[in-house]
């Protein structure tokens, strides 16, 4: 599938080039091309695959949007947040319009609009020439095009707030346009996804929906539920932080839509949680692409294009027995050091999510695990050592980005049900997520008693905020949720206090050990670590080596204080600025809000 997309993109490149570069000319030749392409399922499918190409361009999702958007929160941060740079500015809520990482004509903003233009051309062509009805292949392709366009727009609005809304191919009247209210964009996306859901089958129902790299009904409905929650949530508008004033986007309306869509996915039986959290993430790193499980849809990167492990994996200092992707790969970001200690010690998600070691310099191509420091952890969801394909590219690993998984559908259902019907209605969905996280012997207390104790709407909501943390740390979904809950600055400030307590070993972190003990397991590569759990202070004896597990002084204070840049209010910096190159090229139509 990954190679097919590249070939398809080359095949239809001339179509997109002619339609986007020659929009000032008479459309006769372009229209003739579209009449042929979009009435033929094979040619139309190649054009739809072309919509996906901008995801993987150098400065698009691959190298700019995914590595930086979503950091820093109360669970995740850029591991070099304390180092002043244009890269850290993107994460510490202090990006400038001339940011050198982003202020290029080929960055994520430009590539998202390139994908939107490709989608607009396909949608127009299919509607005009394809007779895209439910159950037909051209109908499926229209649903896929509508959904891909919604993905690009959802991420534009997530990162920039109000942006230009273009839902038709460019023409000489729409070269320069100003920003569109995100409320209008959200309403369009919700309508588009509603239509797409009538056109796209469930996972595995047709050949196209057997892979998580193609759009299916479970994902469409899940994405629609997510966007409904976001559209009705709190967010920074030019006039302040508030919910939408549009009655169509009210909490009552949007939560009802989200609940209906998430329950539809749940009732369909077309998706399910993997048997264990670790099993799911191992299969992800092994590039298991069969639809109908937990992953609903993934950004499809080719084997040599994409940087999820390159950026986020447990760090590898050199090439070694697990990869040849280059030196110091992975580890750009990681969990806040408090996160490991916030998990219940019996929660099986903890050790998958939070990793305290890296792989050191390889000797004879064999690298061993090495303990780092208390303030630098890695995301264990991404691991070269779990791959079955040996990566040799020096720039990319090719592992897909999971865009949405079934656990989110369950937690959306729980949140919407809690708001509309009360905590008892939310409880079954929360229990399903937690049941997977705990061993059978612990479920009476950690699942049943825990969830049943959340007997008020407020208690259940707070439990869901926490559950999202335990389930999704390292997937960079937290920032948008904190914004829509109106908890961004409050949770960031709470995280600063907690990290200071951890550094000082006080409060909830008073019993975190100050010394770790380790030895190598039988494989002479993996570490056997004692002292990570609270209260583990007894020397385990001969065979173990000790290491200080502390984080003190000015260095600790500096890193903690740069979770967001000192002097900056993150609630007033919920979005990135529009980059200078696009302001200057907008003929005066685009300006920045929010004090940029």
254-311 pLDDT, tens digit per residue, is 999 999 999 999 999 999 999 999 999 999 999 999 999 999 999 999 998 999 999 9
The verdict on 45 and 177 lying in the same domain is yes
Please give the pLDDT value at position 7: 37
Residues 260 and 384 in one domain: no
Output the six-digit token pair for 88. 């850290």
The answer on 281 and 409 residing in a single domain is yes
Asked if pLDDT for residue 13 goes beyond 70, the answer is no
Q: Are 404 and 330 in contact (CB under 8 A)?
A: no
pLDDT bracket for residue 518 (50, 70, 90)? very high
Domain boundary among 505, 532, 548: 548
pLDDT band at 73 (very low <50, low <70, confident <90, very high): very high
Q: Give me 549's structure tokens.
A: 């597990």
Higher-confidence residue: 280 or 395? 280
Range of the domain at 461: 247-296+405-486
Q: Is the pLDDT of residue 206 over 70?
A: yes
Residues 184, 236: Cα–Cα separation, whole Å:
16
Q: Are residues 480 and 417 in the same domain?
A: yes
User: pLDDT at residue 66 above 80?
Assistant: yes
Is 367 part of any domain? Answer: yes
Residues 325 and 472 in one domain: no
Structural domain total, the chain: 4
Phi, psi of 95 (to 5 degrees): -70, 145
Domain annotation covers residue 505 = no
Does residue 478 share a domain with residue 348? no
Q: pLDDT by residue (tens digit) across 341-385? A: 999 999 999 999 999 999 999 999 999 999 999 999 999 999 999
Q: For residues 315 and 453, state if they share a domain.
A: no
Q: What is the mean pLDDT of the chain?
A: 94
497 located within any domain: no
| DSSP labels, 60-80 | SIIIIIHHHTT-SSSSEEETT
CA dist., res. 485 & res. 491, Å (int): 10
Given a contact cutoff of 8 angstroms between Cβ atoms, the answer to whether 106 and 524 are in contact is no
Among 172-176, 179-183, 426-430, 578-582, name the one with the lowest average pLDDT.
Answer: 172-176
| Alpha-carbon separation of residue 53 from 13, 214, 241, 278 (angstroms) | 10, 14, 35, 31
In a domain, 221, yes or no: no
Q: Please state at what angle helix 41-51 crosses helix 108-129, rounded to 10 degrees.
A: 160
The reported pLDDT for the residue numbered 304 is 86
Give me the mean pLDDT over the 141-146 stretch: 98
- Based on the fold, state whether residues 284 and 327 are members of the same structural domain: no
Any domain includes 569:
no
Residue 582 belongs to a domain? no
Look at residue 82 and tell me if it is in a domain.
no
Does 12 score more than 60 pLDDT? no
- φ/ψ region of 506 (left if φ > 0, alpha if ψ in -120 to 50, else beta) reads beta
**Cα gap 28→422, rounded to integer Å:** 58
Domain boundary among 399, 416, 449: 399
Question: What's the start-to-end Cα distance of the chain, in Å?
Answer: 42
User: What count of residues does the chain have?
Assistant: 596
Last residue of a domain, one of 486, 505, 537: 486
pLDDT band at 16 (very low <50, low <70, confident <90, very high): low
Confidence band for 512, pLDDT divided at 50, 70 and 90: very high
Q: How confident is the model at residue 32 (pLDDT cuts 50, 70, 90)?
A: low
Structure tokens that stand for 391 in this block:
């990566």
Residues 305 and 292 reside in one and the same domain = no
Flag whether 115 is in a domain.
yes
Shared domain for 104 and 196, answered yes or no, is yes
**Mean pLDDT along residues 457-461:** 98
395 and 425 housed in the same domain? no
Residues 326 and 261 in one domain: no
CA pair distance 175, 495, nearest whole angstrom: 44
Percent of the chain with pLDDT over 90: 93
- Give the domain CATH number at 165: 1.25.40.890
Task: Calculate the CA dihedral of residues 356, 361, 364, 365 and round it to 10 degrees.
Answer: 60
CA distance linking residue 444 with residue 586, whole number of Å? 60
Q: What is the mean pLDDT of residues 142-165?
A: 98
């Amino acid at each position: 599938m990954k190679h097919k997309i590249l070939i398809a993109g080359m095949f239809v490149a001339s179509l997109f080039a002619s339609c986007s570069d020659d929009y000032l000319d008479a459309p006769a030749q372009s229209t003739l091309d579209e009449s042929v392409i979009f009435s033929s399922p094979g040619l139309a499918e190649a054009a739809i695959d072309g919509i996906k190409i901008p995801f993987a361009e150098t400065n698009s999702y691959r190298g700019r949007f995914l590595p930086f958007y979503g950091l820093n929160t109360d669970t995740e941060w850029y591991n070099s947040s304390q180092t002043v740079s244009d890269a850290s500015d993107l994460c510490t809520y202090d990006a400038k319009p001339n940011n050198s990482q982003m202020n290029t004509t080929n960055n994520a903003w430009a590539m998202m609009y390139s994908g939107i233009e490709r989608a607009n051309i396909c949608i127009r062509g299919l509607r005009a020439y394809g007779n895209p009805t439910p159950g037909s292949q051209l109908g499926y392709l229209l649903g896929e095009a509508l959904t891909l366009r919604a993905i690009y727009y959802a991420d534009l609005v997530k990162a920039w707030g109000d942006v230009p809304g273009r839902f038709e191919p460019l023409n000489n009247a729409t070269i320069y346009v100003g920003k569109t209210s995100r409320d209008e964009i959200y309403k369009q996306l919700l309508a588009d996804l509603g239509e797409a859901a009538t056109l796209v089958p469930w996972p595995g129902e047709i050949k196209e929906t057997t892979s998580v790299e193609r759009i299916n009904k479970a994902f469409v409905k899940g994405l629609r539920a997510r966007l409904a929650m976001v559209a009705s949530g709190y967010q920074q508008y030019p006039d302040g932080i508030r919910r939408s004033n549009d009655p169509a986007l009210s909490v009552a309306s949007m939560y009802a839509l989200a609940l209906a869509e998430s329950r539809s996915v749940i009732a369909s039986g077309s998706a399910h949680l993997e048997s264990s959290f670790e099993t799911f993430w191992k299969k992800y790193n092994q590039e298991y692409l069969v639809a109908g499980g937990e992953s609903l849809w993934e950004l499809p990167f080719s084997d040599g294009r994409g940087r999820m492990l390159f950026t986020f994996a447990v760090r590898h200092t050199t090439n070694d027995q697990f990869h040849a992707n280059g030196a110091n790969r992975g580890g750009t970001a990681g969990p806040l050091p408090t996160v490991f200690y916030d998990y219940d010690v019996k929660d099986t998600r903890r050790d998958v999510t939070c990793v305290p070691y890296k792989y050191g310099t390889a000797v004879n191509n064999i690298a061993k695990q090495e303990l780092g420091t208390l303030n630098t952890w890695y995301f264990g969801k991404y691991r070269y050592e779990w791959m079955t394909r040996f990566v040799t590219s020096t720039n990319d690993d090719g592992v897909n980005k999971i865009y949405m998984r079934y656990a989110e559908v369950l937690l959306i259902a729980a949140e919407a049900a809690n708001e509309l019907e009360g905590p008892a209605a939310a409880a079954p969905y929360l229990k399903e997520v937690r049941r997977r996280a705990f061993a059978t012997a612990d479920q009476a207390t950690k699942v049943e008693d825990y969830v049943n104790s959340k007997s008020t709407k407020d208690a259940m909501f707070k439990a869901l905020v926490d559950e999202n943390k335990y389930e999704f740390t390292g997937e960079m979904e937290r920032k948008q949720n904190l914004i829509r809950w109106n908890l961004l600055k409050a949770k960031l400030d709470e995280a600063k206090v907690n990290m200071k307590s951890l550094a000082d070993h006080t409060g909830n972190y008073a019993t975190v050990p100050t010394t770790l003990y380790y030895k190598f397991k039988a494989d002479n590569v993996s570490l056997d670590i004692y002292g990570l759990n609270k209260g583990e202070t007894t020397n385990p004896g001969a065979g173990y080596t000790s290491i200080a597990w502390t984080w003190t002084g000015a260095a600790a204070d500096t890193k903690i204080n740069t979770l967001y840049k000192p002097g900056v209010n993150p609630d007033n910096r919920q979005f990135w600025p529009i980059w200078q190159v696009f302001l200057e090229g907008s003929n005066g139509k685009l300006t920045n809000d929010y004090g940029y």
